[in-house]
A and B are shown apart, each in its own frame.
Chain A
Amino acid sequence: MTSIRLTVFLLLVLALVAIIGTLLPQGEPLDFYLARYGNSAGAFLWRFRLTQIYYGPWFLGPLSLLAANLLACLVHGLPQALSRVSRPFTGEVAAALPERGRFSWPAEVDPHGAVVTAFRQELGRPRRLVFPDQEIYLVECGRFRPLGPYIIHLALLLILVGGVLGKFWGLTGSLALGQGETAQTFVKDPRRPEQALNFQVRLDRFQVRFYPSGVPEEYRSDLTFLQDGREVRRAICRVNDPVSFGGLTFYQSSYGAQPTGPIRFKVCRGEDCHPVEAPWRRRVELPGGQAQIIALRLEGDLQGLGPAVQVAYKRGPGHPQIFWVSQNHPELAGKPGSPFWQPDEYRLTLTDLPFRYYSVLQVKKDPGVWWVYGGFILVLAGLFLAFFRSPQRWALILKKGEDGSWAGRLLGSAPRAREAFGERLTRLKERLKKGAGS
């Protein structure tokens, strides 16, 4: 379980499964796969759960093995790393480091100041140990580096735990609210009955602002939360700016427009005009009885041209034609090639389009999020330790000779960063030599 071969194998297997998951459309209904890949291949994909690849054994199997592998690696290596980190850098340890240079100072020169300055400039503030026969200056950096990889692995486990918590104890759903409406339930699964909220939420106002090009600039829902009919809190929910209440979080996810009454058209055939009332998504005969229309969709601002209704128009046995009818720009109906073009001899114009916006909110509870965020912070800390804090140990042992002169031995090692160590060593030696006579 601790083998690195297994780790590498699992990482590559997970990558492969994920690749399949992005190439094969995920989470569609069975009919979709049957239609797209043929009956036998579609049924095969469905049966072997390749259509829910991230939530089935194909992905979760190797992922659980990887989690076990990470755990084994932690249990196996962490105590060792901890004992390495907790071993202090003492005079004896320093004396065992490889020697990197020798220096001597004449009797009239006191080397301490020069040594401290050189160390400070190159490495950082040294520790000083005084013994009867010698003095040792010590500098250690990157002491906690051995913990880095284990912190990263621990963090990844935390993230996985967070994911499992969210999967089993979290919930997601959606809530569509018209302006002025109050909801006590939300939709968790479209095939099941709605889930009850233990409070009420009311949409006081929904606003959407558009850029001149007709692209939405911002939309927001002004919400009021009620408990037993009493207003408890008001909040504004925007995209990128969710609202939490009663253990649930509400996200502004989308919006739409719906009519509040029948849509009224003026339908003309040449000079012969009649009013027509079209209930939402119902078939209506046009005057003369030769054609029918259905009002299909409503947009509050289509392409920056104001409110418009999408209409399916059918005359005779052929396919219905689909076009938009603009409230503010009826002249567009005669423009071929535009989505507003009305190809037949009937000409529809809107006389009354009562509508309101509704807001679609995503409702969510995820107790795993903080585990995941904790994991993120630890991953970053671990990466910092593992890659930017290479361990280095330096020592300068000073001995006073009989004639009052000083002799120094520079020792040090950095097993993981030989190159950087070499550069530092050269610079440090130069600085020390400047202070010493030789």
Chain B
Amino acid sequence: MISLTLGGVTLAYLIAGLLFLGAGLWAAPRLQRLARALLWSGLAVHTGALLGRWLQSYSLASQHQPPAGFGELVRLVVLQAPLSNFYESLVFFSWCLPALALISFRRRLEGYLGALVATLACLLLAYASLGVDSSIKPLMPALKSNWLLIHVATCFLGYGAFALAFGAALLHLWQTRRTRPELPGRALLDPLIYQATVIGFVFLTLGIITGAVWAESAWGRYWSWDPKETWSLITWLIYATLLHARLVKGWQGRRIAWLAVFGFLAVLFTYFGVSFLLPGLHSYLT
């Protein structure tokens, strides 16, 4: 049921992406509104599917061991948040993209930028549905912590915001040779890159901090130079460079866009590369 719903959401994102593309090509405000409405409805259904998965995961766990009392019930609900394996993290990642874009870019999410966001979300969701094991597995002892929800959620919101900055940066770099009138102007894209980077940086910082506090209580070390930790630090350093370059040196445009691209490559490696290539403490995600 949930996988079917998510299939529908994937399709909605795909069509929204095409509509945004059409709206960008023919400068049609009606198409623009239609695309945005479709993206909103896809996001609403996606949210429903996430909650449904949460409920499913909770009811499985409560069948195994019914919670006694309200406190334990709340704890079980928090623990069973659908963020505990690779499939669930992909579904949440793809949720973050349209959610952050619609909320933080608002009406500036249009045309090619909208098409990029919707397509990226569609691809992530399609990969999750087709290429990844979607079964619900019981939680291992190390993951049984109230920090799980906030740590994973903040990290992926950060990744999502960086993906938006990456999308805006791509459109910016595409116009370096000559301005393309059908694309959002560079003057518009520049603040978008910055804004998305700030959101991502704050979330990534939160994600690293919550992870450190959790690691201190689970492993007795707030920092262990595990590959995932190190790569999130590398990502953090790259975006810190971007923010300093912009805020202190006043860099704009092309150079900032390149930094946003490099930063997102580091994000991708932190997420996929480390999980598949470098063994470590975070390897339960795959």
A4-B244, A21-B225, A369-B216 are known contacts. Are A380 and B209 too (CB-CB below 8 A)?
A: yes
A251-B219, A251-B220, A380-B205 are known contacts. Are A219 and B141 too (CB-CB below 8 A)?
A: yes
> B206-221 interface mask toward A, CB cutoff 8 Å, 1 = contact, 0 = none?
1001001110111111
Asked whether B245 lies within 8 Å of A240 as measured between CB atoms, the reply is no
A96: chain B residues at CB < 8 Å are none
Taking the closest CB of chain A, its distance from the CB of B204, in whole angstroms, is: 11
A251: chain B residues at CB < 8 Å are 218-220
> A378-407 interface mask toward B, CB cutoff 8 Å, 1 = contact, 0 = none?
011001000100000000000000000000
Q: A239 at interface (Cβ–Cβ under 8 A)?
A: yes
> B221-255 interface mask toward A, CB cutoff 8 Å, 1 = contact, 0 = none?
11101010011011001101100110111000000
Q: B138 at interface (Cβ–Cβ under 8 A)?
A: yes
Q: B52 at interface (Cβ–Cβ under 8 A)?
A: no
Q: B144 at interface (Cβ–Cβ under 8 A)?
A: yes
Taking the closest CB of chain B, its distance from the CB of A424, in whole angstroms, is: 16
A14-B237, A218-B141 are known contacts. Are A239 and B218 too (CB-CB below 8 A)?
A: yes
- B141 partner, pick from A54, A149, A216, beta carbons under 8 A: A216
Q: A26 at interface (Cβ–Cβ under 8 A)?
A: yes
> A359-375 interface mask toward B, CB cutoff 8 Å, 1 = contact, 0 = none?
00010100001001100
Question: What's the Cα separation between A380 and B230 when bound, in Å?
Answer: 20
Question: What's the Cα separation between A15 and B274 when bound, in Å?
Answer: 15
Within 8 A of A (CB), among B257-283: 266, 274, 278
* Interface residue SS majority, chain A: helix
Question: What's the Cα separation between A23 and B278 when bound, in Å?
Answer: 8
- Using a CB–CB distance below 8 Å, which chain B residues touch chain A? 64, 137-138, 140-142, 144-145, 191, 198, 201-202, 205-206, 209, 212-214, 216-223, 225, 227, 230-231, 233-234, 237-238, 240-241, 244-245, 247-249, 266, 274, 278
- Could you pull out 15 A-B pairs where Cβ atoms are within 8 angstroms? A15-B234, A18-B234, A18-B237, A172-B221, A215-B140, A216-B141, A218-B144, A238-B141, A239-B218, A240-B144, A240-B218, A241-B217, A253-B219, A364-B221, A373-B213
Given A8-B241, A12-B241, A219-B141, 8 more pairs with CB closer than 8 A: A8-B245, A21-B230, A215-B138, A217-B138, A240-B144, A253-B219, A376-B213, A380-B209
